[in-house]
């Protein structure tokens, strides 16, 4: 059975900001051994699952969680997934210390860093390209600058899923 996304949002503090953040968090959780049962393929922002997107839409339509629409200061729209935090399930997989710590680390990272971290993992372990460093710069360009690539790699090391 696939993971329960509202439980994930609850465990992440009741709010996950943006589709990119949610998708990359679930991809990285999958790599940590959480049995998400979603299959991922590579898209513009890195690993992405159609099945996860569909489950999220179901959860919103059937009011298992909220999708709040907001805008960036330049008006660019984005969505925030929200749940109440009253009945956090400590028995769920997200309550495990390792997973809980991983969720906190991912929530402290920007969406761009999560995009880079998930892409590094994908390039190194799924596509198995010769040099993930070169391929990352080729695909992500400006996003890898200003220390963001290093932050993404540090996150993967923290999660213990970094390439050698």
Partner 1 sequence: MGVFHNARRLVKLIRREIELNRVAGQFNERRANVSVLAALLHDIGHGPFSHAFEEARKLIAERRGTEKKLRKHEAFTADMIRYKSSSIGNILSDAGVEPNEVAELVEAETPEDMYHAVVSSSFDADRLDYVERDRYMTGVGAGAIDCEWLMDNVRVAEIDVSPAGDNGADAAYRHSFCLLYKAREAAEDFLLARYRLYTNVYLHKTTRGFEQLIAALFCLIAESVDRGASLDGLDVDHPLTSFFSKDGETIENYKALDDGVVWGAIHRFAIAGRGATQEIACRLLERRRPYCLDVQLSFPQEPELQRRLKRRLGEEFKGDLNDRVFRDTAKLSLYGEISGDDSRAQKRLMIQLPDGKLKEITDFSDRAIAQSSNERQFERYYFLNESDYTRALAVVAAIRGH
**Beta strand ranges found along 15-82 (DSSP E):** 15-17, 41-43, 46-48, 66-71, 77-82
**Beta strand ranges found along the chain (DSSP E):** 15-17, 41-43, 46-48, 66-71, 77-82
Contact flag: residue 74 with partner 1 (CB under 8 A):
yes
We find the least distance from the C-beta atom of residue 36 to partner 1, in angstroms, to be 16
We find the least distance from the C-beta atom of residue 90 to partner 1, in angstroms, to be 28
Decide if 83 contacts 6 (C-beta within 8 A).
yes
For partner 1, the closer of residues 25 and 99 by Cβ is 25
We find the least distance from the C-beta atom of residue 91 to partner 1, in angstroms, to be 28
Q: Which of 37, 58, 89, 150 contacts partner 1 by CB under 8 A?
A: 58
Q: How far is CA 60 from CA 73, 81, 123, 162, in A?
A: 25, 9, 32, 33
Q: Give CA–CA dist 96/116, Å, rounded.
A: 25
State the number of CA atoms in the 13 A half-sphere of 23 facing the CB. Answer: 27
Among positions 18-37, residues that touch partner 1 (CB under 8 A) are: 18-21, 23
For partner 1, the closer of residues 40 and 94 by Cβ is 40
For partner 1, the closer of residues 19 and 93 by Cβ is 19
Report the interface residues with partner 1, using CB under 8 A: 17-21, 23, 39, 41-45, 48, 53, 57-58, 61-62, 69-80, 110-113, 115, 126-127, 138-143, 145-146, 148
């Amino acid at each position: 059975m696939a993971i329960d996304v509202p439980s994930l949002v609850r465990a992440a503090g009741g709010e996950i900001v943006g589709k990119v953040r949610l998708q990359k968090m679930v991809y990285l959780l999958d790599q940590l051994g959480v049995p998400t049962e979603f299959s991922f393929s590579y898209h513009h922002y890195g690993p992405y699952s159609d099945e996860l997107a569909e489950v999220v839409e179901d959860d919103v339509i059937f009011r298992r969680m909220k999708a709040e629409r907001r805008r960036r200061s330049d008006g660019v729209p984005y969505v925030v997934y929200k749940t109440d935090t009253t009945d956090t399930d400590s028995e769920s997989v997200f309550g495990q210390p390792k997973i809980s710590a991983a969720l906190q680390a991912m929530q402290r990272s920007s969406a761009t860093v999560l995009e880079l971290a998930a892409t590094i993992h994908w390039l190194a372990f799924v596509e198995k390209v010769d040099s993930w460093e070169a391929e990352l710069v080729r695909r992500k360009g400006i996003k890898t600058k200003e220390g963001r690539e290093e932050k993404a790699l540090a996150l993967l090391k923290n999660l213990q899923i970094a390439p050698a």
